[in-house]
Structure 1
Amino acid sequence: MKVIGVTGLPGSGKSVVSRVAKTLKIPIVRMGDVIRDEAEKRGSTPGEVAVKLREEHGEFVVAERCVESIKNLYNQDLNEKSSEKSSGNVDNVYMIEGIRSPYEVEIFRKNFKDFKVIAVHSTPKTRFKRLKKRMRDDDFVELSQFKKRDERELKFGIGNVIATADYMIVNEGPVKKLKNVVRGVLKNEMQNKS
């Protein structure tokens, strides 16, 4: 089994990386989904819950939930292969989108041999423009809110994760270019799995 993590500040292009992975039949676990699901249960905002969860259960909580999800997917794939109902994930490669802290990387490295991290980087100006266009529930149209969100992400340690990533992809050009670079990285990792 090979697990590839994706990191980057909001609006950098992590979801594009995931969409490319999906075309290669790589199952994706999104750390943000763990937060959004918990926020819905609590009737709170994802930003507040991201901080609260870590305060209540420690820095590892989101990563541990993602490890559990990946292991469940892997076992499901093994069962499907043995019963010839393959999901198409013949390479047993999985992706975790949305890594934010070195603590999370530590958990993934403990659980998954040869864990790799892809960092996607875009300038704040580019990211703000994308988020205004995207308009997901946790996106902001005010520059001050955008900066506050970046500060929160940086407090989690995302800058350290980006700085120590195995791959750094700059996403300032056309989406097609990003997709081609990502496809090359993912195919390389699929071929080099342990």
Structure 2
Amino acid sequence: MYKLVCIAGMPGAGKSVVSDYFVTRGFQFLRFGQVVLDIIKENNLPPTENNERKIREDLRKSRGMSAIAILNYPKFKTLLKKGNVVGDGLYSWSEYKFLKEKFDKQLIVISVYAPPSLRYERLSKRVIPKSDKDLRHRPFTKEEAKARDYAEIENLEKGGPIAMADYTLVNTKSLAYLMREVRQIYAKILRLRNHEMQKQKLYS
């Protein structure tokens, strides 16, 4: 049974770094918020925090609080037929419950934490590389980042998946330290999947 590893955390915590590690280990990649940026591109809007927030909240008003997960569900389902998947940016409690209901033991959630001051510093120093067509690494001012934090916590139930994560990474030290922690979690997930496969063979 292939695994869907979803990465949760506030902006600037280090979700993309963790997701990218799983990609290097052969996981297929899907970014939750890409559906929002795709709508922004389709409507020729600038990728500002105000525009993103409006689209995120409009989607949830029209489709419910699990909207982003529902929109990504067919993609996750297709990818899981071929192999393990990492989902970058699990947002709301409703999305967590939706995915848990659909994928059950296939779903593993990793929370990445860093305090606001450190996250805001990271976000303000971001530079968008030319290769970043999906705008994963766009910068935010401190004011934009704080506004996004409040909106995600108050309007998008973002604390739920972070609190209920299977694993939590505290990203306040060096990149090398974070990578050591990520490798340990990856090894645990691999052992879990191998154990499940052995059980399947035993009872098949």
Q: TM-score, normalised by structure 2?
A: 0.81
Unpaired stretches in structure 2, ≥5 consecutive residues: 46-50, 129-134, 197-204
In the other structure, the counterpart of 1:149 is 148
Give me the whole-angstrom Cα distance separating, in 1, the residues matched to 2:139 and 2:161.
22
Matched position secondary structure for 1:55: helix
Does the aligned pair in 1 maintain the 2:3–2:80 contact within 8 Å? Answer: no
In the other structure, the counterpart of 1:80 is none
Tell me: CA distance 1:103–1:168, structure 2 relative to 1, closer, same or farther (3 Å): same
1:111 to 80, 84, 102: 102
Give me the whole-angstrom Cα distance separating, in 2, the residues matched to 1:16 and 1:37.
22
Within 5 Å, which residues of 2 pair with 1:1-194?
A: 1-44=2-45, 45-75=51-81, 77=82, 92-114=83-105, 115-135=107-127, 139-141=139-141, 143-155=142-154, 156-193=156-193, 194=196
In the other structure, the counterpart of 1:86 is none
Unpaired stretches in structure 1, ≥5 consecutive residues: 78-91
Matched position secondary structure for 1:126: helix
Matched position secondary structure for 2:95: helix
In the other structure, the counterpart of 2:199 is none
Offset at residue 187 of structure 1 (A): 2.2
Q: Deviations over 1:50-80 (max 9, x none)?
A: 11111122112210122211112234x2xxx
Give me the whole-angstrom Cα distance separating, in 1, the residues matched to 2:59 and 2:174.
36
Give me the whole-angstrom Cα distance separating, in 2, the residues matched to 1:65 and 1:41.
16
Structure 1 stretches of at least 4 aligned residues deviating more than 3 Å after TM superposition: 135-139
RCO higher in structure (CA 8 A, sep ≥6): 1
Give me the whole-angstrom Cα distance separating, in 1, the residues matched to 2:35 and 2:179.
25
Give me the whole-angstrom Cα distance separating, in 2, the residues matched to 1:6 and 1:182.
12
Paired-residue identity, %:
28
Q: TM-score, normalised by structure 1?
A: 0.85
Root mean square deviation, CA, Å: 1.6
Q: Aligned residue pairs: how many?
A: 178
Does the aligned pair in 2 maintain the 1:66–1:96 contact within 8 Å? Answer: no
Does the aligned pair in 2 maintain the 1:11–1:130 contact within 8 Å? Answer: yes
